């Protein structure tokens, strides 16, 4: 229950939508203790099963709007819990994990600002790449410091406004 | 002070469904259009690449049916190499496909459609979702999540990845299945079978208690298309294309390589989705339905015992003829879901499934290849042309949701005629139009090549073209 799940999601085949998986893969290479890294095209309801096994989860996604270079915030009760055939919001997953599996996982969203999402096969754009590096430095430092969910929550307070 | 940031959707580029309803002089709905306003040129993106890259690239069209795209692509590559996949390669491809079909159908029923049925069409949209279901019937919601998880786990155990399926290759599969993975999947099948039967019980109970609504909901007759194997058995992976008419008579039964002789497409000015139709019947009469209802209506039988029993009961609803009405897509979907579990058992029990002889190898031997398979939403075609170095010169993807587009328009029209009365769009009418579209479980990501969910924006116009009302569901 003490571990941290880092879940980076998005489509690497579509420009800046690949920011989430790119950050997750970079985190995976650092081999942090008690941190499990998963990449996915998108969130699915079945991910609710996995949440219960972790003390904290960090959802890493590209953001089409909001502050640069990234925002980091805890998922709260007021966040929208949406479900469609193609996406589930982090708040939706946290709610499902809580209601169906008794999970008490604290969840955070790391939203990395992206700019270009339309073109198939495009790489991450240069400004988004710079944002990615800033977000990686931020999350990497938090994970390296240890401390689990409370430390991440403290990070949410000092991260760029979100 | 922190500013508020909308994080939902954070990245998704939405496939936007806009619906317009048009009243006649009698103030009744005369026309309805389901518009798709976005288009991405995936085919163009593929041109100039090596054809062997396609089974890896095409899953990125969509996260819901990546296996189908990868599979159709691999089969097109088989054709270009004039290669017969190894028996184990075929078993593993079928396994991956049954897993994906199970995951997709479970998601469609338990998480998108069952809240409408179990919580009511007129329940608050904010809670008419899986969270609302979790509050009212947690045991059903948990089983639905676990069934979806099993379907996803098949891909994960086959390829090590959940969404980016990388296992499909020309000639078969890239990775064998271990005995450990086979055992782990087999152990979950009894519970999965019970969940499928529970879902069928829920749906049949709903139909029993809402006979009038179900019989009239988006009710219209059409031809149907599905893939059939030996003796007309429904087959997801391979077989011939069979079109049947509204009475079940076979209109055509042909190898998929001849699809262009039987399917034509027409562009419409109100949508980027083309209108495919069965060419021999012409544009006016030739629109057909694919997907669960298309397959179950086109087939003569199911090849597994429990699904066959359900198939017989289903077809008896209309005296053995095809069963019509958009609502019955749900019923057909659940029969297929049960079939998936039985099919997984059959495949995993096959001693050949763990052989390491997973891939035949070849090289380019033809300049054209057509790959076809059944995706969760219907028949899918990948058609490639290459030059003599194997570089793609032309790519055509014929997607299931595109083929169901005329039927979705018709379903919206029928529901609007029934539930829109006067010059306002009521919440009840919006809910039911939304559900009519949900019956088809459309994937606008595939069909328009844009990622996304499906917010609905519906407008009502007078006979003179004045917008009378507008409603939106995000």
CB contact under 8 A, B5 and A20: no
Residue B368 lies in a domain: no
Is B5 in contact with A61 (Cβ distance < 8 A)?
Answer: no
Query: Which pair of structure tokens corresponds to residue B42?
Result: 């995936």
Looking at per-residue confidence, does A118 or B119 come out higher? B119
Mutual angle of helices B138-159 and A90-101, in 10-degree steps: 120
Torsion, Cα A16 A21 A22 A28, to 10 degrees, reads 170
In chain A, the number of structural domains is: 1
Query: Do B11 and A40 make contact, defined as CB atoms within 8 angstroms?
Result: no
Asked if residue B385 is part of any domain, the answer here is no
Total domain count, chain B: 2
> Which candidate from A10, A119, A162 shows the least CB-CB separation from B11?
A10
Tell me which chain A residue has its CA closest to the CA of residue B130: A83
Which of chain B's residues have a Cβ under 8 Å away from the Cβ of A111? 5, 7, 10
Domain that holds residue A104: 4-158
What is d(CA B423, CA B425) in angstroms, rounded to the nearest whole number?
7
Of B306, B324, B342, the residue at which a domain comes to its end is B324
Is the CB of A155 inside 8 Å of chain B's CB atoms? no
- Looking at B324, B346, B367, which one is the last position of a domain? B324
Whether residue A120 and residue B141 make contact (CB cut-off 8 A), yes or no, is: no
* A73 touching B (Cβ < 8 Å): yes
The answer to whether residue B88 is domain-embedded is: no
Q: Hey, is the C-beta of A79 within 8 angstroms of any chain B C-beta?
A: yes
B57 contact residues in A (CB cutoff 8 A): 13
Q: Which residue of B has its CA nearest to A10?
A: B11
The CATH number of the domain holding residue A73 is 3.40.50.1450
Prediction ipTM score:
0.82
* Whether residues B227 and B319 fall in one domain: yes
Expressed as residue numbers, the domain containing B318 is 220-324
Q: Residue A99 to residues A43, A54, B142: CA-CA distances in angstroms? A: 18, 16, 9
Comparing CB atoms, the residue among B6, B42, B145 nearest residue A45 is B145
Q: Could you report the per-residue pLDDT of B196-209, keeping only the tens digit for each?
A: 999 999 999 999 99
Examine residue B313 and state whether it is found in any structural domain, yes or no: yes
- Please answer whether residues B202 and B137 qualify as being in contact, where contact means their C-beta atoms are separated by less than 8 angstroms: no
Contact B468, B462 (CB under 8 A): yes
Residue B271 CB-density burial (10 A; 0-12 exposed, 13-18 middle, 19+ buried): buried
* Chain-chain contact of A118 with B40 (C-beta, under 8 angstroms): yes
Interface contact flag, B146 A49, Cβ < 8 Å: yes
pLDDT digits (tens, 9 = 90+) for A56-110: 999 999 988 889 999 999 987 666 666 555 567 888 889 889 989 999 999 999 9
**Does residue B74 lie in a domain region?**
no
pLDDT given at position B450: 28
Residues of A in contact with B435 (CB under 8 A): none
Q: Which pLDDT tens digits describe chain B residue by residue (474 residues)?
A: 322 222 222 233 334 567 888 888 888 888 888 776 544 567 888 899 999 999 988 877 666 678 899 999 999 999 999 999 999 999 999 999 999 999 999 988 988 888 888 888 777 777 777 888 888 889 999 999 999 999 989 988 997 654 455 689 999 999 999 999 999 999 999 999 999 999 999 999 999 999 999 988 999 999 999 999 999 999 999 999 999 999 999 999 999 999 999 999 887 776 667 789 999 999 989 999 999 999 999 999 999 999 999 999 999 999 999 999 999 999 999 999 999 999 999 999 999 999 999 999 999 999 999 999 999 999 999 999 999 999 999 999 888 888 888 898 899 899 888 888 877 888 888 888 878 888 887 765 543 322 234 456 778 888 888 888 887 765
d(CA B159, CA B176): 9
Quick one: B226 and B318 in the same domain? Answer: yes
> Would residue B204 count as lying in a domain?
no
């Amino acid at each position: 229950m003490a571990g941290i799940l880092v879940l980076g999601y998005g489509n690497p085949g579509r420009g800046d939508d690949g920011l989430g998986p790119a950050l997750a893969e970079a985190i995976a290479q650092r081999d942090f203790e008690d941190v499990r890294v998963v990449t996915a095209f998108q969130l699915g309801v079945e991910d609710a099963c996995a949440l219960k096994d972790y003390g904290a989860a960090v959802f890493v996604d590209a953001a089409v709007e909001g502050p640069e270079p990234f925002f980091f915030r805890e998922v709260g009760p007021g966040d929208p819990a949406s479900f469609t055939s193609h996406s589930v919001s982090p708040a939706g997953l946290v709610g499902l994990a809580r209601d169906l599996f008794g999970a008490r996982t604290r969840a955070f969203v790391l939203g990395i600002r992206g700019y270009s999402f339309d073109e198939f096969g495009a790489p991450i754009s240069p400004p988004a790449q710079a944002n990615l590096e800033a977000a990686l430095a931020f999350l990497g430092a938090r994970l390296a410091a240890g401390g689990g969910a409370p430390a991440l929550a403290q990070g949410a307070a000092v991260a760029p406004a979100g | 002070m922190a500013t508020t940031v909308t994080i939902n959707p954070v990245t998704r580029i939405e496939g936007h469904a806009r619906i317009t309803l048009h009243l006649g002089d009698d103030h009744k709905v005369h026309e309805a259009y389901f518009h798709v306003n976005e288009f991405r040129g995936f085919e163009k993106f593929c041109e100039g690449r090596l054809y062997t890259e396609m089974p890896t690239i095409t899953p990125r069209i969509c996260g819901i049916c990546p296996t189908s795209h990868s599979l159709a692509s691999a089969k097109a590559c088989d054709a270009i190499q004039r290669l017969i996949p190894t028996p184990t390669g075929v078993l593993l491809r079928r396994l991956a496909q049954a897993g994906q079909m199970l995951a997709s159908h479970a998601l469609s029923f338990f998480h998108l459609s069952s809240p409408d049925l179990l919580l009511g069409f007129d329940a608050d949209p904010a809670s008419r979702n899986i969270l609302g279901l979790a509050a009212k019937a947690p045991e059903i919601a948990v089983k639905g999540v676990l069934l979806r998880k099993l379907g996803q786990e098949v891909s994960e155990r086959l390829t090590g990845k959940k969404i980016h399926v990388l296992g499909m290759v020309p000639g078969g599969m890239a990775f064998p299945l271990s005995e450990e993975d086979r055992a782990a999947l087999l152990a979950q099948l009894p519970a999965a079978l019970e969940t499928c039967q529970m879902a069928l019980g829920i749906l049949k109970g709903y139909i029993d208690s809402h006979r009038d609504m179900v019989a009239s909901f988006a009710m219209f007759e059409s031809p149907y298309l599905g893939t059939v194997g030996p003796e007309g058995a429904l087959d997801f992976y391979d077989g011939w294309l069979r079109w049947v008419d509204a009475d079940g008579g076979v209109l055509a039964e042909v190898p998929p390589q001849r699809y262009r002789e039987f399917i034509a497409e027409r562009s419409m000015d109100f949508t980027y989705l083309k209108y495919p139709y069965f060419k021999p019947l012409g544009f006016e009469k030739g629109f057909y339905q694919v997907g669960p209802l298309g397959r179950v209506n086109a087939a003569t039988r199911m090849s597994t015992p429990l699904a066959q029993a359900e198939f017989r009961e289903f077809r008896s609803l209309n005296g053995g003829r095809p069963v019509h009405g958009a609502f019955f897509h749900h019923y057909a979907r659940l029969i297929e879901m049960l079939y998936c579990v039985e099919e997984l058992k059959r495949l995993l029990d096959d001693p050949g499934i763990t052989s390491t002889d997973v891939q035949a190898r070849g090289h380019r031997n033809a300049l054209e290849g057509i790959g076809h398979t059944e995706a969760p939403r219907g028949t899918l075609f990948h058609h490639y042309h290459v030059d003599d170095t194997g570089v793609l010169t032309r790519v055509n993807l014929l997607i299931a949701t595109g083929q169901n587009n005329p039927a979705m328009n018709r379903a919206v029209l029928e529901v609007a005629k029934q539930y829109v009365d006067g010059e306002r769009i009521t919440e009840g009418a919006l809910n039911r139009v939304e559900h009519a579209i949900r019956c088809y479980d459309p994937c606008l990501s595939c069909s328009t090549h844009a990622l996304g969910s499906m917010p609905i924006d519906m407008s009502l116009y007078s006979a003179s073209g004045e917008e009378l009302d507008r409603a939106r569901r995000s």
